[in-house]
Structure formats: structure tokens, C-alpha cells
């Protein structure tokens, strides 16, 4: 009965209901858009610096991650393969050999990192083939390299030119080679783009003299949120010769940056919710003032104050739920548009700052369900808290004064 009365009262004054709905509607859209941009930035950071190269879980010989020495390479045994493949969260693995070298042309030199990898396996994990902007993607049998766009620009070389690589190989041997450039790759992280040289893994083994050893084993998975639990699961099964690391350990600077930004975001969202709350509270006060005479009459003819207060409370709840739902429907097209068509970050300095942090300089939103549901629930909760005020006001209403208003 109370819900039925509340529903009917909403449509007795459509203008007042529309104003209240609009306050909730725009509050949800504004809050959702702000958080969608925040989570989109985090995803951009993660994909640029993790998914595009580092991977979400890596296995090395114990001590390699600290030394980053080619001497700490290890042989991928069948027993280790079996442990990894037996985990249901694992979808595959990529073997890599990484080492720092000096890259050189006739007129320029620059430090670089050689990454020997299986081109087909790399294609499955990082979709590196889709990042080739000039030339062709590597084949496993090629005796050629692909360069990051930033490194190619530094050396002023392109497809068909030759790059010389000089460094230290396995156990102090000399590593030297001259390779034609088959492709230029644009990585999501500009830092990677400025230093990576990609070699087929068999050629990298010859270059570094590691024979059957590798330095990194990148584990593939579908759900990146399970990276830490997967690393712990594999780490519990392998012996102490290996170290198993999830991406928060591989790129701790990224994790710290995201956590610091989240704190700032929470402060900003708190201020935003306060502004939204006062706007919604003003709308409720307006509704209460307009209907004061009505409430006085209802009490005077015998309606219990508690029942009248409950009716008004549920009116606010119904409006909040409808407004939150409409807000989700209104926010989704806006967020989806910015997700599929990210906006290039305006301003040379701002764009350069984002590149320095290893991010593509674009504004892209997130369309994960929790972004929309969380904000709708928070705004609806705020509306419910605000609804307590008219509820208490009606319980204390003086019928004579209200009817004279």
C-alpha cells in the first residue's frame, strides 16, 4: 500500500519529479564519467607498460631480476614446462633472451636491449604483429631484426638498412652481429620504443652464445587480475632455483604511481560527491517546502505521521533508483564513445609528460561494469541518506502550522 501511494504521488506533480530525477541522473553521469576516465588511465598505463611487453607473470633463474645479467640464464626443463602447463589459468608461455648491448650505425650509437623471442608466441601474447608500422613482422627463420620506432628515429634508419650490435655474451664471450632491419614497431610505451631490438630467439641464442638457455619465461593468461595468485601458485611448485614474479613486482613504479593517483582520485571524488549531495539535498528541500501544506492536510484528516513519512521516504528511494538507472544508460554511450575513439591528449608538454611515464598520450575511458554500477549505487545511497531528512521532518510536523503555510 505504501509503495503504491509513493508511486502515484510521484506522478501527481510530473515537473517536480522530473527535476529530482534530473539531479540524480546528471549526478550519476558526472561521477561515472570521472571514474571511467580514471580507470581508463590505469588500464592505459597497465597495457602500455605491462601487457604490451613485460607480461603479467615471469619466471627467471633466482637472482636474475636483480642482476639482469645474461650469465643468469637457465635451461627450460620439461618438469618446469609440466608445472606451468598443468595450471588451468595458464594459456601459454613465451621464451625470451634479454641482454643490453650497444647499437650502432655509421654515424650514431645508442644503448639498446636485445630481446630474442619466438615471433609466433609473441604474437599471441602482445599482438606485436599489429604494432608493425613499417616493413614486415619477423619470421622464426629470419636472420634480421625489428626495431622500436624511437630507436629507429634516433639512428635515422628504416627497413632495409643495417644495424650493428655489440655487447657481452654468455659467460664473458663477445657478442657481435650485423643485422638487416625487417620492420619498425611502435610500442605502447615510448620508453620501450626507444630501446628495443627484437631478434628471433634462435638468432639471439647464437648472438649471446647461450645455446639452449633463456633468461625470461613469460606466462600467458586470460584474466590479468589473477596474476599474483598465479605467480604464488607456480612459485609454490617450483624449486628455489627459480623466481616467479607477477607484474606488480616486475614494474613496482607503475603500481606506486597508480596507488598514489587513486588516493588523489578518492579525494577528488569525495569533493564531487559532496557537491552532488548538496544539489540533491536542495532539490529535496524544495519538494518538502512545496508539499508542506499537503502534508499538514494529510495529518489533519487522520493519516499517521509514520505512514506519511514512509510514503515520502519511498518516493525518494524510487526516484533515486530510477535516476541512477537512467544515469547508467546515459553514461554508457559517452564512456563507450571515448573508449573506442580515445581523444589525443592536447598540448605538447602534457603529451610528452604522459610519454615520459610510459603511456600513450590519449584520454581513454573504461567500460567495465563495476565503473557504472559502483557510481550508481553510491549516488543512490547518497539519495537514500538524504531521504532521512524529510522522513524525520514529517514525523515532527505540526498539522496546523503546515496547513497555514
- Dist CA 86 CA 82 (whole Å): 6
Higher pLDDT, 291 or 154: 154
Q: What is the pLDDT of residues 117-148, one digit of tens each?
A: 999 988 887 788 888 999 999 998 899 999 99
Dihedral over Cα of 372, 375, 379, 380: its sign: positive
**pLDDT at 295 > cutoff 90:** no
Higher pLDDT, 404 or 253: 253
Residue whose C-alpha is closest to residue 28's, from 374, 397, 396, 393: 374
**pLDDT at 78 > cutoff 70:** yes
Higher pLDDT, 85 or 359: 85
Radius of gyration of the chain from its Cα atoms, rounded to whole angstroms: 30
pLDDT, residue 354, reads 62
- Dist CA 169 CA 69 (whole Å): 10
pLDDT, residue 74, reads 93
Q: How confident is the model at residue 356 (pLDDT cuts 50, 70, 90)?
A: low
DSSP label of 79: H
Residue with cell 635451461: 75
Q: What is the mean pLDDT of the chain?
A: 85
Report the pLDDT averaged over residues 307-313. 81
Report the pLDDT averaged over residues 30-55. 81
Tell me which H or E stretch contains 130.
none
pLDDT, residue 155, reads 96
Of 96-110, 251-265, 323-337, the one with minimum mean pLDDT is 251-265
- Dist CA 263 CA 328 (whole Å): 25
What's the pTM? 0.69
**pLDDT at 161 > cutoff 80:** yes
**CB-facing half-sphere around the CA of 383: CA atoms within 13 A:** 29
Q: How confident is the model at residue 164 (pLDDT cuts 50, 70, 90)?
A: very high
Q: How wide is the angle at C-alpha 47 spanned by C-alphas 156 and 267, nearest 5°? A: 120
**pLDDT at 348 > cutoff 70:** no
Domain boundaries, the chain: 2-50+254-404, 63-239
The proportion of the chain whose per-residue pLDDT surpasses 90, expressed as a percent, equals: 35
- Dist CA 344 CA 351 (whole Å): 8
**pLDDT at 350 > cutoff 60:** no
Residue whose C-alpha is closest to residue 228's, from 56, 45, 43: 56
The proportion of the chain whose per-residue pLDDT surpasses 70, expressed as a percent, equals: 94
Question: Cβ of 133: how many Cβ atoms within 10 Å?
Answer: 11
Amino acid at each position: 500500500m505504501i509503495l503504491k501511494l509513493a508511486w502515484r504521488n510521484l506522478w501527481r506533480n510530473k515537473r517536480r519529479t522530473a527535476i529530482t530525477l534530473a539531479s540524480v541522473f546528471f549526478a550519476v553521469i558526472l561521477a561515472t564519467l570521472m571514474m571511467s576516465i580514471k580507470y581508463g588511465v590505469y588500464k592505459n598505463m597497465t597495457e602500455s607498460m605491462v601487457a604490451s611487453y613485460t607480461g603479467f607473470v615471469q619466471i627467471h633463474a633466482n637472482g636474475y631480476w636483480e642482476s639482469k645479467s645474461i650469465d643468469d640464464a637457465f635451461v627450460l626443463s620439461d618438469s618446469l614446462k609440466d608445472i606451468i602447463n598443468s595450471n588451468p589459468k595458464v594459456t601459454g608461455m613465451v621464451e625470451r633472451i634479454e641482454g643490453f648491448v650497444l647499437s650502432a650505425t655509421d654515424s650514431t650509437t645508442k644503448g639498446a636491449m636485445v630481446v630474442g623471442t619466438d615471433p609466433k608466441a609473441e604474437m599471441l601474447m602482445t599482438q606485436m604483429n599489429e604494432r608493425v608500422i613499417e616493413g614486415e613482422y619477423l619470421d622464426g627463420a629470419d636472420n634480421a631484426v625489428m626495431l622500436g620506432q624511437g630507436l629507429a628515429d634516433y639512428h635515422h634508419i628504416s627497413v632495409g638498412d643495417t644495424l650493428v650490435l655489440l655487447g657481452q655474451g654468455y659467460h664473458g664471450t663477445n657478442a657481435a652481429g650485423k643485422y638487416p632491419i625487417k620492420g619498425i614497431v611502435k610500442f605502447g610505451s615510448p620508453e620501450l620504443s626507444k630501446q628495443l631490438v627484437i631478434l628471433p630467439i634462435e638468432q639471439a641464442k647464437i648472438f649471446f652464445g647461450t645455446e639452449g638457455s633463456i633468461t625470461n619465461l613469460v606466462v600467458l593468461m586470460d584474466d590479468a587480475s589473477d596474476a599474483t595468485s598465479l605467480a604464488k601458485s607456480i612459485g609454490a611448485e617450483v624449486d628455489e632455483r627459480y623466481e616467479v614474479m607477477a607484474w606488480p613486482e616486475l614494474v613496482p613504479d607503475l603500481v606506486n604511481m597508480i596507488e598514489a593517483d587513486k588516493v588523489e582520485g578518492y579525494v577528488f571524488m569525495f569533493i564531487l560527491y559532496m557537491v552532488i549531495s548538496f544539489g540533491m539535498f536542495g532539490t529535496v528541500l524544495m519538494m518538502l517546502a512545496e508539499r508542506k501544506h499537503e502534508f499538514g492536510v494529510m495529518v489533519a484528516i487522520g493519516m499517521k505521521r509514520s505512514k506519511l513519512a514512509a510514503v515520502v521516504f519511498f518516493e525518494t528511494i524510487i526516484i533515486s533508483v530510477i535516476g541512477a538507472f537512467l544515469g547508467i544508460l546515459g553514461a554508457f554511450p559517452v564512456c563507450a564513445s571515448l573508449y573506442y575513439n580515445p581523444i589525443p591528449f592536447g598540448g605538447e608538454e602534457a603529451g610528452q609528460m604522459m610519454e615520459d611515464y610510459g603511456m600513450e598520450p590519449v584520454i581513454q575511458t573504461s567500460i567495465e561494469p563495476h565503473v557504472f554500477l559502483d557510481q550508481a549505487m553510491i549516488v543512490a545511497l547518497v539519495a537514500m541518506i538524504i531521504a532521512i531528512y524529510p522522513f524525520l521532518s514529517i514525523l515532527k510536523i505540526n498539522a496546523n502550522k503546515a496547513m497555514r503555510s
